[in-house]
Structure 1
Amino acid sequence: MQSEIPLASDIVLLGGGHAHALVLRKWGMDPLPGVRLTLIDPQVAAPYTGMLPGHVAGHYTRQDLDIDLVALAGFAGARLVTAAATGIDLDARTITLPDRPPLGWDLLSIDIGITSSMDEVPGFAEHAVAAKPLGAFARRWEAFRDAVAKGDLPGRVAVIGGGVAGVELALAMAHALRRTGARHHVTVIERDRALSGLGDGPRQVLLDEMARAGITLQEQSAVQQIDAEGATLTSGARVEAALVVGAAGARPFGWLADTGLDLTDGFISVGPGLQSVSHASVFAAGDCAALGHAPRPKAGVFAVRQAPVLFHNLRARVAGGQKRRYDPQGDYLKLISLGDRRALAVRGGLHYQGPLMWRWKDRIDQAFMDKFRKLPVMRPAAPPARIATAAREMIEGAPPLCGGCGAKIGAGTLQGVLADLEARRGTGKAAPPARSDVLGRIGDDAAILSLGGVTQVLTTDHLRGFLSDPLLMGEIAAVHALGDIWSMGATAQSALVSLTLPRMSPRLQRRTLTDLMAGISGVVEAAGAEIVGGHTAQGAEMILGLTITGLAEDTPITHAGAHPGDALILTRPVGSGILLAGMMQNRVRGAWAQAATDTMCRPQGDAAAILRKGGARAMTDVTGFGLAGHLLNLLRASDVGAEVTLSDVPLMAGAADLARAGIRASLLDENRAAVAASIEGSLPERAEAALLFDPQTAGGLLAALPADQTPGVLKALQAAGHTAARIGTLAEGPATLRVV
C-alpha cells in the first residue's frame, strides 16, 4: 500500500552486491515512509559468487546463482536503474550514468564489489577475461566450453592467480572440460607462492587436488603479455591457451579514485558504522569497502554480516536514532569447491574434505539464495468492514489494477459512451455545425485536420506509471503516444506534455522531472518533433500524458482501406500487459522484464515508413484493447474479415509462461468480452490464446498490405531490428476474426 506520507528523501544503493540485496529484502518487509529507495546496477540480475565455481563446473545453471534484481526491487518498492556508474559528484550529490542525467541522492550506499581485470598487462583487455565481474566471464566461459566440446577450439586454459579463488576456478574448469570428453589442459600462473593464505594442511590438499586433475602450477611466474594464443611470462616462457582468465586478487574499480572519497588502497575507507570516514552521507559495504578499524580479506561472508548493520544505519541516518557498530569475526568458515561434488572445509587449524563438505556448502548456498527466490508475502491490510458487499467483491475478486495500457477503461464501456456521443451530435440546442476542416472520425488512431492545405493529425495519450525508473517511463510514454502518429503514416511535429507526480519534496520533484523529461524529449526529438509546452500537477500516483501533432505529406493511413487477400503484418511481439501484471506479483524474471522494457522503448517511426513504402492500405497500433480488439477496429472500418494463425503471433519472452500460469492483466477480461461476438468459432485450446486480448503498452504497428509486398517488407523490417511477422490474411466480410 502506497504511503500517504510525501516522499522527502532519496536513498540510493549503488551496486547490487550481497549486502545491498539483503538490505532491499529487509526494506521490503519494513519500509521507511517518506523515503524513495533506488538501486543502480548494470544488470537485472546479480550473481551470488559463492556458487560461481559450481556453475563453472556444471553443477548449477546461471539462473541458479542469479539474484533477480527486478523482483527484489519490486518487493522493496525501490526504483531500479540499470546502468553502470562512472563517477560520483560529492558536492552536487549526484551519480554520473551514461546516456541519462546525473542521478541525485541524499544518502548513498556503495556495494559494487571488485574486479579482477588486469588492464596493466599488455593484451589482457583484448584477449583475456576477468573472473569478476561475473557477467562477461560467464558468457565467455560458456562459449569456450561449448566450442571445446565441438572441437572448434583447443581445451587449453590459463588462470592468472594462484590464490584460493584462482585454484577453485581452475579445478572447476578442469572438471567441466573433462566432462566434455575433449582433450584439455589447465595452467595456473602465480607470481609468488600459490595458496599462501592457507595453512600447510589445506594448502597441500588443494595442491594434491590440482595434481589429480592434471593442472599445471607455475609459481614465481609473472605474466608479461597476453595474445590470442596464450600468455608470455617475464621469464620468456610461453603458456599456450585459448582462454586466459584473470583471477589474481581483489582490485577496486578505478573510477573510485576520482570521487574524492577517502580510500585505502583504492577501496572506500569506512568506520565501524560502515560510513565513509570522509563523507557522512556515504556508506559502503562488501568488497569495495575497507574497514579501517578491523581490516579483513575480501570474502562474501563479511558482506552478508554487514547487511543488518547497514540497513539499520541507513534508516537511522534519515529518521534519527543510534547507529550500530559492525565488528567482523576474527575467523570464518571457508568452503572451497574441488571441481567435482566435493569440497574442502577450513576453519582455524582444522580442515575436512569430501562429498559431505560439498553437501554442507550447497545447503548453505541454497539457503542464502532461497531468501530471494522465496520473497515473503506481505499481506495488504484488509478492506474496512463498512465497504459495501459489491465493492468488496470488486476489490477482492479482480486482479490488481495494472499500469500502462492495462489501466485503461474497458473497450465495451468506452465504445458505448462514444456511440451515445455520436448519436447526440447535432441534437442539442447549441449543436455546432459539422466542420469541413475536421476530416477524421472517432475511432481512428488520431484526428485528421485540414489546415490551409496542410493535413495534420492530432492525438493524445496518457499512461499510469508502471516502471520505477522515470527516464525509462518517459521513453515508453513517448513511444506509446507517437504510435498513433506513426500508424497514420505521418511525421511527428509538436508535443505537449502533461505530468502528474506523486507528492514529494521540491528536491525530489526536480530530480524526477529531470529524468522524465530526459526520457520523453529524447524520443520526441529523435522523431523530429519539438516539445512546445504542457502541464504538471501533483496527485496520488504518476501519470504521463502527451498530446502530439503530426504532418501527413500524403493521405493519412486510417483503419479503412484494407482489401480481402491482404496480409496482416505485426511489427513487434505482444505480451507487455501480462508481463507488467506479472511484475506486480513478482512472477517475472529479470531477463524477461529487461527484454520487454527494451521492446517498449524502441521507436517505430522507421517501421511505419517501411510499411507505408510497402503499400500499407490500413494501419493501427496495438495498445490497450489488445491485438484482437485493435484488429477488429480495422476490420470493421474496412468491412473485411481476417484469419490469424496463433502460432505466428510473436510473443515477448516469458509471456507464454505467465499465461500458462494463469497470470492476466486487469483489462484482459473486458477486452475479451468486448470482441467475443465478432470472433468466429472457438479459440485454440492454448493458454497463449489469451494474449490476443492482452493490453499492450507501446505495442506494435498492425498493417494490412498487398500479399505480394509482404516478403520484401518483412525483410526490411527485420533488417531494421524489428521482430516483425506475418500473422494472418484478410478475407471477404463480415468483420469477424477467425483464429487457427
Structure 2
Amino acid sequence: MNTAFPLTRDLVLIGGGHAHALVLKMWAMKPLAGARLTVINPAPSAPYSGMLPGFVAGHYTSDELYIDLIRIARAAGARIILGKAAHIDRAKKQVIVPDRAPIGYDVCSIDIGITSGMPELEGFTEHAVPAKPLDDFARIWEGFCQETGPAQVAVLGAGVAGAEVAMAAAHRLQHLGRAADVTLIDRSKALSRLGTQARSKVLKSLNELNVTLLEHANVLRVEADQVVVADRDPIPAKMTLGAAGTRAYEWLSNIGLAMEQGYIKVLPSLQSETDSDIFAVGDCAHLTHAPRPKAGVFAVREAPILFHNLRAALSGGAMQNYHPQSDYLKLVSLGGKIALAEKLGVAISGGAMWRWKDQIDRKFMDQFDALKPMGALELPEEFASGVEAHAGPICAGCGSKVGRGALARSALHQTGAQRDDVVTLKGDDAALLQMGDVKQVLSTDHLRAFTDDPVLMTRIAAVHALGDIWSMGAKPQSAMVSLILPRMSTALQERTLDEIMHTASDVMGEAGAQIIGGHTSMGAEFTIGFSVTGLASDTPITLGGAQVGDVLVLTKPIGTGVLLAAEMQIKARGADVAAAYASMARGVAIDALSLSTAQAMTDVTGFGLAGHLANICRASGVGAELNVRDVPLLNGALAMSETGVQSSLYPDNLSDALTMMNAPQTARGRLMLDPQTAGGLLAALSQADAKVAIATMKERGIDAIQIGKIVDGPVALNLIE
C-alpha cells in the first residue's frame, strides 16, 4: 500500500472478474493518492473464461487459465481479502464477509459474474457441477480427468458455452485414452443464438467428436450416475455439468438496488440506478441503456470506463459513459485446436481461427505477467560506506527482525540483577515470573505487516505472539495490543481499528486469553504486535531440557520467509502465498497440548528452523542432526529458493548458524535458515512420547513429523542433506 499520502477514501472491489482485474492493473500504473484499494475474492486467483474450453480440452494448464489476483494486488498496492461477500449494508456502507469484521467503503464496485447452478432441478445440487463459477468447475474437472476407466459425461444446456464444454470434454477424454460418452442436452433447440452458418459448423464438430445431442429434452432429475429425462432412457453420467440457466447470485437481490431479473441495473456510467456509490460490471450487471447478452467481451471493454469513473467518484471528477458495440466477434472453440469465428452472420472455422483465438487469449493474460516488482532504493551519487549493502527491500513479518548476532551483543542481552520473583531463562521463548506458587510466562512480539488485510495480519500476529506461550507449555492468560497505522483519516482509522480489534479479541478469546489494553499510533506503515502472558501449572517447558536420544518433531511446514519475499517481488504464485497465509494463521494450541511431554520445545520463527534448533542445542548442551529431506515445505518455497529468492534476514541467520554448522549447500538446505512467521512448534521428545504425540496430532488433522534427533558430542548442528 502506498502511504506517501494520508489515506482518506476506501474503494472496495467485490469479485476478481475480468473488469476488476484490468482495473487493478491500470491502478498499478496510475494509483490515486489518498485512496485505499481493497479487492475481495473467495480465491487468490480468478479463471479467465476465454481459455476455459481450451483448459477443459487440455490445451492449457491450470496456471495458464488463472489470473493471479495476489500478484496484481501487490503491484497495485491493494489489500486483498480472501473471502466471499454475502451482503452490502448500504446504510452503514459496509461489505459483509462471513467470519470477519465488516469492511467499510466509500465507493464499491461489484464484478462477481454469474452462476449456472440449477437448484430447482431435483438432484442438481447434490450430483451436478455448474460450469459457473468457473473456479470450482475447473478444479473438479481436473480431478475427474485424473481418474481411469470409461468416462460418461452429460452437459445440461446446448448454448454456445455448453457446446464448447461438451466438445472440449470429448476431445480431452479421447486423448487420455478413455472411452468417452458425452451427451449434450437442451430443453429446446441447440445453439439457437448462432447464425445458420455457425450453427451448422458447430453441429458438424459435435458429430465428429461423437457427442450425442439431445434437443427438446425434459430433464426430470440428476442422480449420482445418470440423468433422468422424460420419455427417454436415462443418460449414464459419472459427471453432470450444468451450462444452462445462468443467473445472478441471490444475495445481490437483498441489498435494495434496482434489479432486472436478479442483475443490478446500471446507468451508462456503470453506477447503480439506485446508489451512485455502487458500481457493477460484467455478467452481474444489466445495462439499462443498451442491454447485451452475457459475454466476457463487454466486461473487458467496460474496464477503462470503470477505472476512470471509480477515480472520479473518489475525487469529485466527471463521469464517462460506456457504449457497448452492437455486435461482437464470437470465437468458439471446437474441441481440438480448431475454432470458429462469427460476426455479422459470417462464420469461418479451422486451425487458423484457433491460432487467432489463442493469440488473443494469451495476449490478454500476458499483460498480467508484466508487473513491476518492488525494487531496491535508488542510491544518490554520494552515500556513506556500507549503504549499498543494506539498500535492498526489507522483508516483513519475522523477516524484518534484527539478527540473533546483533541481539546477543546488545544491551537487550543483559538481564541485570536477579530478583527472587523473576526467574531469568536466558535466551528462552518467554520470561518466567514466579509469585508464590503461581508461575507466569511473559513475552512480546511485533511484526511489520506483509499484507494490508488488517484481519489476516492481526490473526497471524496474534498466533505468532501466542507461540511463545504455547511453546513453554503454558495457558494464555492476557494480551495487550501494540499497533501502528499508516496515516489515514479518522473515518478510516475507525474502520481499520474495528477490523483489528474484532479479530484480536476472537483469536485471543479462542486461546483462552483476554485483551486487557494496548497502545495505538500512526506512522510510516502498518505494524502490529502483542504482549502476552500465560500461566504454567507445572514447570515450564524450556530450551534446556533436550536429552541425547530424543527425537525432533515439527508441527508446521516451513518456507514463509522465502514466499513472503517472493510475493513482495511479484514472483510467487498467489495460490502458494494464500496457503502460506493459512498456515501462519493456524494456531498451535492443540500441537502444544499433544507435545506436553516434550523435554524441550520452541516455536520456529525469525531465526529459522536451524537457528531455533541451535538454541535448543546451546541451552541443553547437546548436538543435533537435522534430516533436511524430512522437513515439510510449503508449496512453492523450494521453487523460490532454487531461483535464489531469500528473505532479507537470511544473511544474518546464516552468519549466526556458521558458528555451529557448515553452510547449507542446496536450495532445500538454505530453507532451514529461512525466517518463519507464526511457524510451528519444534520439540525434543523421547522416541516413545514422539510416536504418541505424532499419532495424536494426526487424529486432529495436524501433520506433525519427525525430522531429526538429539545426539551426544559437541554443541553443534549437523544438516543431513
TM-score range, shorter chain: over 0.9
Distance 1:378 1:493 in 2: 40
2:642 is matched with: 660
Pairing 1:292–2:276 present? no
Which of 646, 649, 664 does residue 631 from structure 2 map onto? 649
- Preserved CA contact (<8 Å) 1:473 1:519: no
1:381–1:404 distance in 2 versus 1, CA, 3 Å: closer
- Once residues 46 and 360 of structure 1 are traced to their aligned partners in structure 2, the CA distance between those partners, rounded to angstroms, is 23
Q: CA deviation at 1:237?
A: 4.9
Matched, 1:523 2:507: yes
Structure 1 Cα separation of the partners of residues 300 and 546 of structure 2: 62
Distance 1:378 1:736, change over 3 A: closer
Cα deviation per residue 1:512-570 (whole Å; 9 max; x = unaligned)?
Answer: 11111222222211111111111111111112111111111110011111111111111
Cα 1:439–1:379 change in 2 (3 A) is closer
**434-443 or 252-261, larger mean C-alpha shift:** 434-443
- Aligned residue identity for 1:337: S
Q: C-alpha root-mean-square deviation of aligned residues, in Å?
A: 1.6
Q: Is the 8 A contact 1:12 1:107 kept in 2?
A: yes
* TM superposition shift of 1:264: 1.1
Which one-letter code corresponds to 1:721 in the other structure?
G
Q: Which residue of 2 aligns with 1:252?
A: 248
| Alignment pair present for 1:9 and 2:9 | yes
2:327 matched to 1:331? yes
Write the deviation string for residues 94-152 of structure 1: whole angstroms up to 9, x where unpaired: 111111122111100000001111111111101111000012212322232332xx22x
Distance (whole Å) between structure 2 residues aligned to residue 231 and residue 466 of structure 1 = 49
Asked if structure 1 preserves the Cα contact closer than 8 Å seen for 2:602 and 2:683, the reply is yes
**In structure 1, distance between residues paired with 2:7 and 2:73:** 17
Distance 1:493 1:707, change over 3 A: same
CA–CA separation in structure 1 for the residues paired with 2:537 and 2:151: 61
C-alpha distance in 1 between matches for 2:622 and 2:377:
50
* Amino acid paired to 1:628: A
Moved more, 276-285 or 709-718: 709-718
Question: Do the aligned residues in 1 keep the contact of 2:458 with 2:500 (CA within 8 Å)?
Answer: yes
- 1:393 paired to 2:393: no
Q: Any idea what the Cα deviations from partners look like across 1:368-413, whole Å, max 9, x if unmatched?
A: 010112224577773444x5242641444x3x11111111111111
Secondary structure in 2 aligned to 1:24? helix
Q: For 1:315-330, what aligned pairs fall within 5 Å after superposition?
A: 315-330=311-326
Aligned to 1:430: none
Rate the CA distance shift 1:214–1:279 in 2: closer, same or farther, 3 A. Answer: same
Q: Deviations over 1:426-484 (max 9, x none)?
A: 5xxxxxxx311111333111111111311111111111111121111111011100011
CA distance in 2, matches of 1:536, 1:3: 17
Residue 273 (structure 2) aligns with:
277
**Alpha-carbon distance in 2 for matches of 1:555, 1:111:** 56
Cα shift readout 1:628-663 (whole Å, capped 9, x = no counterpart) = 221111111111111111111111111111111100
Instruction: Provide the secondary structure at the position in 1 that maps to 2:342.
Output: strand
Aligned mates of 1:328, 1:378 — CA distance in 2: 37
- Structure 2 CA distance for aligned equivalents of residues 618 and 144 of structure 1: 46
Structure 2 residue 624 is matched with structure 1 residue 631: no
Aligned partner of 2:52 in structure 1 is 52
Q: Deviations over 1:483-522 (max 9, x none)?
A: 1101111001111111111111111111111111222222
The residue correspondences of 1:577-588 to structure 2 (distance < 5 A) are 577-588=561-572
SS state at 1:564 partner:
coil
- Partner Cα separation in structure 2 for residue 624 and residue 130 of structure 1: 44
**Is the Cα–Cα contact under 8 Å of residues 29 and 378 in structure 1 kept in the other structure?**
no
| TM-score (structure 1 length as normaliser) | 0.95
Say yes or no: does 1:416 pair with 2:409.
yes
Q: Among 673, 678, 684, which residue is 1:698 paired with?
A: 678
1:163, 1:249 within 8 Å by CA — same for their partners in 2? no
Supply the distance in 2 between the matched residues of 1:719 and 1:377 (Cα, whole angstroms). Answer: 42
Query: Kindly tell me: are residues 527 and 378 of structure 1, through their superposed partners in 2, closer, same or farther at Cα, counting changes over 3 Å?
Result: closer
Which amino acid is the alignment partner of residue 32 of structure 1? L
- 1:525, 1:738 → 2: CA distance? 40
Residues 664, 670 of structure 2: 8 Å contact kept: no
Q: Contact 2:3–2:486 at 8 Å: present in 1 too?
A: no
- What secondary structure does 2:22 align onto? helix
Which shifted more, 512-521 or 570-579? 512-521
For 2:70 and 2:714, the matched residues in 1 are separated by 45
Aligned partner of 1:352 among 348, 351, 359: 348
**How many Å apart are 1:418 and its aligned residue?**
4.3
Q: Deviations over 1:259-314 (max 9, x none)?
A: 11111121111111111111100111111111111111111111111101100000
Measured in 2, the distance between the counterparts of 1:627 and 1:155 equals 47
Match 1:478 to one of 441, 456, 462: 462
Q: Where does residue 431 of structure 1 map in the other structure?
A: none
* 1:505 alignment counterpart: 489
* C-alpha spacing 1:419/1:221, structure 2 compared with 1 (3 Å): closer
Aligned CA distance change for structure 1 residues 420 and 462 (closer, same or farther; 3 Å): closer
SS at 1:500 equivalent: strand
Give the Cα separation in 2 of the matches to 1:455 and 1:228.
59
SS at match of 2:203: helix
Unaligned runs of 5+ in 2: none
- For residue 226 of structure 1, give the secondary structure of its aligned residue in structure 2: strand
SS of the equivalent of 1:340 reads coil
Give 2:83's aligned residue.
Answer: 83
Q: Give every structure 1 segment of 4 or more consecutive aligned residues whose post-TM-superposition deviation is greater than 3 Å.
A: 234-237, 376-385
> In structure 1, what residue type is equivalent to 2:183?
T
Q: What does 1:695-734 correspond to in 2, within 5 Å?
A: 695-734=675-714
| Code of the aligned partner of 2:714 | P
Please name the residue that 1:461 is paired with.
445
TM-superposition CA deviations, 1:548-606 (whole Å, max 9, x none): 11111110011111111111111111111111111100111111111111110111011
Counterpart of 2:456, as a letter, is L
